Amino acid sequence: MSFFYKLIETTDANRLELEAMPAVQDMLNGRYTEEKYINFLMKIYPVVLHFCPMMAAASSRCVSHKPEIMDYLYEQIHEEKRHETMVLDDLASFGVEPERVINLTPPHPVLAMLGYNYYMLDRIEPCSVLGMVYVLEIISSVYGSHVAGSISQSLGRPLSEGFSFLDLHSSMDMEHMAKLRKLLQSIDSPGLQKVLIESIQMNFYLAMQIFKD
């Protein structure tokens, strides 16, 4: 099986599992409470905060042998930098003070996601970070706008009051996915392909743990 078809197979299988989760079904169908939404944003804040630093750490290790991946990560960093402030602004719309979010110890699944990806890019293969990017971009582009609209409608709030991060990232990440798919299809190293598939599977698994109530 080619890398491209293995990538599609892995993505489709994990998306079906993600969509079947009760918490995700509640998000998509307007059954997510305000308390759960606030907790969700607080859980993902550390992931968003470390997204650019993680890509920067990986890009610094791709200087000599993977310049095209380094260039892609540079571009991503430029477009994603400081987006953690959007999460803080959305939470502030619900009366959550930034200090409460910043000083909160991340839950175990978030720590596991950050730890796994930092370990992989530092000790195994820096380009493995593309697996994390791929999974987060897939989730955001496919579900972000739908979830934002569903929850905002059920809570009787406009999208501009607490849903900007999810809503705005949906259309933005659709463009990012097109570039990322093109980059992934250019990778012809069997070893790197294997690492990327494993990274995608692990990041989907960890994302599902984060989505659990």
What pLDDT, in 10s, does the model give residues 173-213? 567 788 898 999 899 999 999 999 999 999 999 999 999 96
Contact 143, 207 (CB under 8 A): no
Rounded to 10°, the helix 67-80/164-185 angle is: 170
Arithmetic mean of pLDDT, 157-165 = 96
Q: State the Cα–Cα distance between residues 136 and 141, nearest whole angstrom.
A: 8
Does the domain at residues 3-211 carry the CATH identifier 1.20.910.10? yes
Q: Where are the domains of the chain?
A: 3-211
- What pLDDT, on the 0 to 100 scale, is given for residue 65? 66
Q: What are the tokens at 191? A: 């070893």
Q: What's the predicted TM-score (pTM) here? A: 0.95
User: Is it the case that residue 172 has pLDDT exceeding 70?
Assistant: no
Contact 27, 42 (CB under 8 A): no
How many C-alpha atoms does 170 have within 13 Å on its Cβ side?
13
Contact 210, 110 (CB under 8 A): yes
Q: What is the largest CA-CA distance in the chain?
A: 52
How does pLDDT run across 34-92, given as a tens digit for each residue?
A: 999 999 999 999 999 999 999 999 999 987 668 899 999 999 999 999 999 999 999 99
Q: Is 95 left (phi over 0), alpha (psi -120 to 50) or beta?
A: left
Per mean pLDDT, which range of 8-12, 17-21, 38-42, 178-182 is the poorest? 178-182
